[in-house]
């Protein structure tokens, strides 16, 4: 019996594959490599000293997805595969609805056909949209503000409806906050396609000389230093959260949305200062205008994860910044180099 990891070649997928293999699971990775490199999976194999099959398949091809379920004895699915750039989703909504929704539908049809009941889905804190109250609780009403976030909220609803019709299924909707950092070896990390949008990859690529500016988007938010506050979580903590979610699926039926965050917020300025301090680097950054669509503050309530999954994030912001820089220094051009 194996766990099917869709999008397993991506940033969170590779780190989770390491945690799953270390926990003794057999895995099958399905990815079309539209946003990742096959080389990332070579690193997973090298780090864990374990082998696993890789299926180069687009989830949007229903027949190909069915064939994977026919070929392997799949016990459960962790579904990372999807497009994730919020800004791009505003420009190309059809690509996002098509890829994320169709891909998930094909996966669910195959699971239904082959009687696979355990499902862990990569949702996102983006489903909350802008809320007045912090921390963000799982039962708050959802209010996504871009097509990417809409796909996540829609898939959550599809999964709730699917569970209602199939009460023996076990589904966990993991709402990630801001995943950052890298495997502590420095051999696995985030390797974004093209110029990065997210804060940590922008800091590391600026520090290594791949991009020529670093800007804080806005200094007039209602926060202590005026920059936005986010709940940054180490990608290995997140990976371990998936192993716990899978264990939960194996012993419960139902559908549960669960935040994966640290419960602590840090401002953009604090992140840059921490990165400079722990890595003993001096970076000259600018202050620019606000970026459209950014909520001033976002951080998780972590009680449900702690109660249901017996999981909590362990790694500090110092560690996130150290590991992110180790990865970038060892791999200045990412996997392909």
Residues forming the site for ligand NAD (CB under 6 A): 7, 9-13, 31-36, 58-60, 80-84, 99, 103, 122, 124, 176, 179
* Residue 207 near ligand UFG by CB under 6 A: no
Following CA atoms 156, 157, 161, 164 in sequence, which dihedral angle do they give, to the nearest 10 degrees? 60
CB of 177 to ligand UFG, least distance (A): 5
* Residue 166 near ligand UFG by CB under 6 A: no
25: region left, alpha or beta (phi > 0 left; psi from -120 to 50 alpha): beta
* Residue 262 near ligand UFG by CB under 6 A: no
Nearest-CA neighbor of 171 among 240, 107, 260, 253?
253
* Residue 273 near ligand UFG by CB under 6 A: no
CB of 83 to ligand UFG, least distance (A): 10
Active-site annotation, residues: 148
* Contact status, residue 334 vs residue 39, Cβ threshold 8 Å: no
Give the span between the Cα atoms of 229 and 300, in whole angstroms.
Answer: 12
CB of 278 to ligand NAD, least distance (A): 21
Placement of tokens 């799949």 in the chain: 74
**Residue 59 interacting partner from ligand NAD, ligand UFG, none (CB closer than 5 to 8 Å by kind):** ligand NAD
Nearest-CA neighbor of 202 among 288, 83, 89, 304?
288
* Contact status, residue 97 vs residue 151, Cβ threshold 8 Å: yes
Give the span between the Cα atoms of 196 and 211, in whole angstroms.
Answer: 9
Total number of residues that touch ligand UFG (CB under 6 A):
20
* Residue 178 near ligand UFG by CB under 6 A: yes
100 versus 178: smaller Cβ distance to ligand UFG: 178
Given the rule CB under 6 A, which residues bind ligand UFG? 84, 86, 124-126, 177-178, 197-199, 202, 215-217, 228, 230, 268, 291, 294, 298
């Amino acid at each position: 019996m194996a766990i099917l990891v869709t999008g397993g070649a991506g940033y969170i997928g590779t780190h989770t594959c390491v945690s799953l293999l270390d926990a003794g699971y057999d895995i099958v990775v399905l990815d079309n490599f539209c946003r990742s490199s096959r080389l990332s999976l070579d690193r997973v194999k090298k780090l864990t000293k374990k082998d696993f099959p890789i299926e180069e398949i687009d989830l949007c091809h229903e027949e190909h997805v069915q064939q994977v379920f026919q070929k392997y004895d799949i016990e459960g699915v962790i579904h990372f595969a999807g497009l994730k750039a919020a800004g791009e989703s505003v420009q190309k909504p059809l690509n996002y609805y098509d890829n994320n929704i169709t891909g998930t539908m094909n996966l669910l049809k195959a699971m239904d056909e082959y009687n696979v009941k355990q499902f862990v889905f990569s949702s996102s804190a983006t489903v909350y949209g802008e809320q007045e109250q912090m921390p963000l609780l799982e039962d708050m009403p959802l209010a996504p503000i871009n097509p990417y976030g809409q796909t996540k909220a829609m898939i959550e609803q599809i999964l709730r409806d699917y569970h209602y019709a199939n009460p023996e299924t076990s589904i966990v909707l993991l709402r990630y906050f801001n995943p950052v950092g890298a495997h502590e070896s420095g051999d696995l990390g985030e390797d974004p396609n093209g110029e990065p949008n997210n804060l940590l990859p922008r800091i590391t690529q600026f520090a290594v000389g791949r991009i020529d500016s670093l800007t804080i988007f806005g200094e007039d938010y209602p926060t202590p230093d005026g920059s936005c506050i986010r709940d940054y979580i180490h990608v290995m903590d997140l990976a371990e959260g998936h192993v716990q979610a899978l264990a939960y699926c194996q012993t419960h039926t139902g559908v549960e949305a669960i935040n994966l965050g640290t419960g602590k917020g840090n401002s953009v300025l604090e992140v840059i200062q921490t990165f400079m301090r722990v890595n003993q680097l001096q970076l000259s950054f600018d202050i620019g205008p606000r970026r459209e669509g950014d909520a001033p503050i976002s951080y998780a309530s972590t009680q449900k994860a702690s109660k249901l999954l017996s999981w909590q994030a362990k790694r500090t912001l110092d560690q996130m910044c150290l590991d992110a820089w180790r990865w970038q220094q060892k791999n200045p051009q990412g996997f392909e180099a």
